[in-house]
Amino acid sequence: MTNHSTKTTGSKKTTGSKPAARRQRRSRRGVGLGLRDFPTFKAVSYLVFAFLYLPLVFVVAYSFNSNRVVSVWRGFTFSWYSEVLGNDDIQRALFNSLRIGVVATVVSVVLATGLAIGLLTMARAGRTFAWTLIGAPLIIPEIVFAIGTLALFVQSRIPLGVNAITLAHIAFCVPFALLPIRARLRGVDPAVYEAAADLGAGEFTIFRRMTLPLLAPGIVAGALLAFIISLDDFIVSYFLAGPGGTTLPVYIFGMIRNAVTPGVNALSTLMLVASILIVSLSYLLARKRR
Amino acid sequence: MDASASALSVRDVTKTFHTPEGGLVHALDSVSLDIAEGSFMVLLGPSGCGKTTLLRCIAGLESPDSGQIALRGQRIDDMPVWRRRVNTVFQSYALFPHMTVAQNIAFGLQMDKVPGDIIKVKVEESLDMVHLSGLGSRKPSQLSGGQQQRVALARALAKEPEVLLLDEPLSALDLKLRRGMQSELKRLQRETSITFVLVTHDQDEAMAMGDQVAVFNAGRIVQVGEPREVYLRPRSRFVADFIGEANVLTGVLDTFGLVVESLGLVPRDRLIADTDAASGRVHVAVRPENVSLQIDPVGTAKVTDVSYVGGDMRVEALASAVSIVSRVPSQGVQPPRIGDRVSISFAEGSLTVVAD
């Protein structure tokens, strides 16, 4: 912005010698093409943003629609929210989701922290292989993981339901929780631990007073990420739900199969708001502690 | 040196590392060293010579394969790091980033279970000692490199160790700051009379700071002595080359003197007196400031380069195959020009026999 305005004043002063002004402008931008001169890229960015966020805008806007028919706007109302929040089934599904999310988060973060530290002591070659192995679930198709887990649980007679979902969520939350913890661990000068030992600290003291506080921002960020992933998961939860294991996303899917009411929009909006809050929190924490 | 009078005694310490390629590296090859109580010892050598490994073995961060390390007569080599009365200033400073400066300094004292009110007083004293009073509540990231260096020092000194180890502590500072910190470190060493052991690859730093200098090469200590002694009487070609600039000549030594090819006879009195034992084919080292070149139309050498280094004039001359460097104060001397013929002479007692 400021750059732009100085440029205009600059060219005004040098009226009469246009080529000189142009040369000056080019040199200020440095070598290379003036990419900013192409109008196309701006349009593309706007399109991408629209594409990403229009569905969300639609969901949020129509959650306030007083018409039962989702796609026809009639008037503004909060009634869907009170209806959704008062619904016993939704409350039960929400409770399931939160319970699974909290347990999966706590367990996966503890595992991820231990894993991150433990892998530091491995030999270089083994470590690279281990990291690849741990990171793989991030790109493995979720449906494959879901089918595999279902088959495994049925085979080993683990009853489907909330506990089965929790187990599966722990498994796929670990790599997500690991990402920020690992990044944090890499940023710590290993000499810090040596210095602590040199100053008289034993192994446990070093863990409590160096490792944990230094990793804390990573652990918190990892926990929030794991919680969001667990809360938003549909496929795995749907496969393993069984009787009484309905989570919020599974319930929402059930709702739209019967009839799409603005209630779905209201519920989705609530989930969206919760997700945004948690992600912003994790972002702020990561920034503040740096 | 009597082992009981030394603060730290290292006996036949050996340490080997496995390289990723499967080879073996002798980081320390049967190293022995005695460090006197209250002295400033500098371990000097090129990178990879084992000096840092020895420091880490003393600290307990590395365990030697064999040999003994004793602190005031008491063996410490099988003691864990946290129990040794030795503290380290790390090359990267290794300050605790999540703690304030005061908390950093207090940490070591807390580990010793020093009461809180005494810790407070000691932290203030330590900050005062390194001229950082009033910065106790800052985080390390809010300090300059030089200030961080002082915090690392204060943190290690607050524990009043029997020996303070310093691992290239000044290498991250710019030249001017480094000079200031060198005299600062010497002052701290004098005031606390704690034994300091400093590792460096910078020979000027070693000369400026050490009471004693131990020169390392390829996992061995090749010479120990006062800086002046090591400079003027290097025992090996390596030391002569590594510390300052040296002319190393090869010749045959007999009762009359040294016969150097293409330079002729160098009289016996030009050699350091106690080289009597040596005879036959030897290498000798001579510092450039002990070489003088006189313009002489029938001289044996020809000037190949003339340059000014600070207040000195550095002249290189070539006598057939032998190249000689001379260094003289540039004031009041008629400088030779490139191509001039010169004759070479050496100052009395300036040549020292060195091992190859």
Q: Is residue A49 part of a domain?
A: no
Domain limits for position A19 = 1-37
What Rg do the C-alpha atoms of chain B give, in angstroms?
24
Clarify whether residues A235 and A100 are in a common domain.
yes
Clarify whether residues A30 and A93 are in a common domain.
no
Q: Which CATH superfamily is domain B3-234 in?
A: P-loop containing nucleotide triphosphate hydrolases (3.40.50.300)
**Residues B211, B40: Cα–Cα separation, whole Å:** 5
Q: Is residue A61 part of a domain?
A: no
Chain B contacts of A213, Cβ < 8 Å?
98
Q: Is residue A136 part of a domain?
A: yes
Looking at this predicted complex, what is its ipTM? 0.85
Amino acid A35: pLDDT: 61
Amino acid B325: pLDDT: 93
Q: Is residue A64 part of a domain?
A: no
Q: What is the residue extent of each domain of chain B?
A: 3-234, 245-354
8 Å CB contact of A189 and B59? no
8 Å CB contact of B90 and A213? no
Clarify whether residues A149 and A243 are in a common domain.
yes
CATH of the domain at A248: 1.10.3720.10
Q: Is residue A214 part of a domain?
A: yes
Clarify whether residues A144 and A212 are in a common domain.
yes
Amino acid B118: pLDDT: 94
pLDDT in tens, chain A (290 residues): 334 443 334 334 444 445 555 555 544 445 555 666 667 778 888 899 989 999 899 888 888 888 877 777 888 888 888 888 888 888 999 999 999 999 999 999 999 999 988 887 776 777 888 888 888 878 888 899 999 999 999 999 888 989 999 999 999 999 999 988 988 888 889 899 999 999 999 989 999 999 999 999 889 989 998 999 999 899 999 999 888 889 999 998 888 887 777 888 888 898 889 888 888 887 777 666 54
Amino acid B5: pLDDT: 67
* Angstroms from A185 CA to nearest CA on chain B: 13
* Angstroms from A183 CA to nearest CA on chain B: 16
**Residues A198, A260: Cα–Cα separation, whole Å:** 66
Clarify whether residues A14 and A108 are in a common domain.
no
Chain B contacts of A197, Cβ < 8 Å?
60-61, 80-82
Q: Which CATH superfamily is domain B245-354 in?
A: Nucleic acid-binding proteins (2.40.50.140)
Q: Is residue A48 part of a domain?
A: no
pLDDT in tens, chain B (356 residues): 444 468 899 999 999 988 877 788 889 999 999 999 999 999 999 988 889 999 999 999 999 999 999 999 899 988 999 899 999 999 999 999 999 999 999 999 999 999 999 999 999 999 999 999 989 999 999 999 899 999 999 999 999 999 999 999 998 888 888 888 999 999 999 999 999 999 999 998 999 999 999 999 999 999 999 999 999 899 999 999 999 889 999 888 888 888 887 788 888 888 887 665 667 888 899 999 999 888 888 888 999 999 988 788 899 999 888 889 999 887 777 778 898 999 999 998 889 988 87
**Residues B5, B70: Cα–Cα separation, whole Å:** 12
What Rg do the C-alpha atoms of chain A give, in angstroms?
26
8 Å CB contact of B155 and A199? yes
8 Å CB contact of B98 and A198? no
Q: Is residue A141 part of a domain?
A: yes
Amino acid letter for position A58: F
| CA B316 to each of CA B246, B287, B291, B301, B331: distance values in angstroms, whole numbers, following the listed order | 12, 13, 11, 10, 18
Q: Is residue A63 part of a domain?
A: no
Domain count, chain A: 2
Contacts of B87 (CB under 8 A, 6+ apart): A198, A199, B108, B156, B157, B159, B161, B164, B165
A/B interface, count of CB pairs below 8 Å: 64
